[in-house]
């Protein structure tokens, strides 16, 4: 049986993955300019990857007896390409830190399956993080984007 702490952490992970998916998809839609055109497809792929993570974590959470959350925090979009990437980079760093905690708690609980799942997801998140760092390093100037709306958090 999973500990209450692990179930709560898994729910937090579901919420963060859904948030990331929404942000990446909005960024994919809203980005403009030459630089934006070069990364639109990447952002769409990241959005899909994050949604797949959310699904995998939700499946594991349900298997362990938890109920996946439908709540997310308020989602800030950023007004420029640079703002968007910085926000995405921060979100990836938060996810990496959270998943390291989940790995420790799953290990303490003796939950090898959850550990394997999060080892895979953590490796992908570290790859996303590295990709975003490379994009930030290549950024010459912010792209013009229309003002992005702040997404309200969903209340279930």
Dihedral pair phi/psi, residue 75, rounded to 5°:
-105, 120
Which parts of 31-151 fold into alpha helices (H)? 33-63, 81-109, 112-138
Partnered with residue 75 across adjacent β-strands are: 151
Q: Average pLDDT for residues 72-77, to the nearest whole number?
A: 79
**Domain span including residue 87:** 4-138
* pTM for the whole structure: 0.84
How many residues does the structure list for the chain?
156
Q: Inter-axis angle of helices 33-63 and 4-30, to 10 degrees?
A: 160
Establish if 149 belongs to a structural domain: no
Q: Is residue 148 in a domain?
A: no
Reply yes or no on whether the pLDDT at 124 is more than 80: yes
Helices 81-109, 4-30: axis angle to 10 degrees equals 160
What whole-number distance in Å separates Cα of residue 36 and Cα of residue 28? 8
| CATH of residue 96 | 1.20.1260.10
Quote the pLDDT of residue 137.
84
- In the chain, the percentage of residues whose pLDDT exceeds 70 is 88
Torsions phi, psi for 32 (to 5 deg): -130, 170
- For residue 149, pLDDT beyond 80: no
Separation between Cα atoms, residue 11 and residue 79, nearest integer Å: 29
Q: Phi/psi at 151 (nearest 5 deg)? A: -80, 125
In a domain, 145, yes or no: no
Instruction: Please indicate, yes or no, if residue 58 is contained in any of the structural domains.
Output: yes
The pLDDT of residue 144: 38
Tell me whether residue 151 is in a domain: no
What whole-number distance in Å separates Cα of residue 74 and Cα of residue 51? 17
User: How many angstroms separate the CA atoms of 19 and 91, rounded?
Assistant: 9
- Per-residue pLDDT tens over the stretch 23-32: 999 988 888 7
**So what's the pLDDT on residue 150?**
52
In a domain, 152, yes or no: no
pLDDT: is 136 or 4 the higher one?
Answer: 4
Domain assignment present for 147: no
Number of independent structural domains in the chain: 1
SS3 75: strand
Identify whether 156 is part of a domain.
no
């Amino acid at each position: 049986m999973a500990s209450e702490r692990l179930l709560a952490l898994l729910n937090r992970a579901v919420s963060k993955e859904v948030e990331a998916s929404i942000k990446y998809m909005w960024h994919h839609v809203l980005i403009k300019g030459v630089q934006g055109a070069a990364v639109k497809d990447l952002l769409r792929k990241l959005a899909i990857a994050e949604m797949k993570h959310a699904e995998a974590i939700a499946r594991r959470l349900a298997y362990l007896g938890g109920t996946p959350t439908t709540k997310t925090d308020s989602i800030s979009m950023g007004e420029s390409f640079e703002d968007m990437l910085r926000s995405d980079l921060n979100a990836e760093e938060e996810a990496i830190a959270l998943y390291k905690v989940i790995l420790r708690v799953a290990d303490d609980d003796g939950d090898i399956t959850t550990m394997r799942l999060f080892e895979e997801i953590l490796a992908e998140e570290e790859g996303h993080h590295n990709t975003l760092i490379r994009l930030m390093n290549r950024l010459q100037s912010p792209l013009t984007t229309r003002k992005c709306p702040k997404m309200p958090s969903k209340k279930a």
